[in-house]
Amino acid sequence: MIATHAAVSRFRSFIVSSPTARKNSSHVRLAPKRPSIAPKFSLDIKHIREHPDLYTQTCVDRNYLAQKDNPQRIIHLFNAWKQSQVDSRDVRRQSNNIHLQLGRLQRKEADDLGGSTFEEQDELLLQAEALQPTLTRISEAEADINDEIQSLAAELPNLTSQETPIGKEARVIGYINEQPAELNTQFNH
């Protein structure tokens, strides 16, 4: 079997289309994306994972009861993402080896026109095309997990300052500008 222009273009389209597979996928998003002019926020997912009790208590203190389980759900989703990374390691390694072999064959083909390289190249292209749906499915699943983690973290309230009074009774810490009249007479010398 001799490699044709179609086989080489299949290889090129495989390389070009793999990074954009997520953009061209037809899966439906549950939540709309943030507008490009909206303020960007930076979420410290690692801090949430390391201190879930702090975030849970903050949710309870600030009456965000629907979100109080979000830190534990984030930890669960992160563990699922991590397990997916471990499970897909062999498939990714196999795909990377195929890409390396294809690159070597193309360099070899440029140096000399050996007939066996075309057959090997076609075989490698078929292997790469067989792996592509699996890699796309894995990437989409991991991206969905990351999107879910980001949306759960975005729902959490900001951490409460240590100086913020907890409870229903307010305590005056200090005044800005003029003090009320009843306190003014107390502090006059």
Cα separation, 84 vs 178, whole angstroms = 61
Judge residue 54's burial from the number of C-beta atoms within 10 Å of its C-beta, 0-12 exposed, 13-18 middle, 19 or more buried.
Answer: middle
Q: Is the pTM of this model over 0.85?
A: no
Q: pLDDT tens digits for the chain (189 residues)?
A: 344 444 444 443 343 334 444 444 444 445 566 677 878 778 899 999 999 999 999 999 888 999 999 999 999 999 999 999 999 999 999 999 999 988 888 887 666 655 566 788 888 899 999 999 999 999 999 999 999 999 999 999 999 888 777 777 777 777 888 777 776 555 554
Quickly tell me which residue has 């057959």 as its tokens: 119
C-beta of residue 34 within 8 angstroms of C-beta of residue 151: no
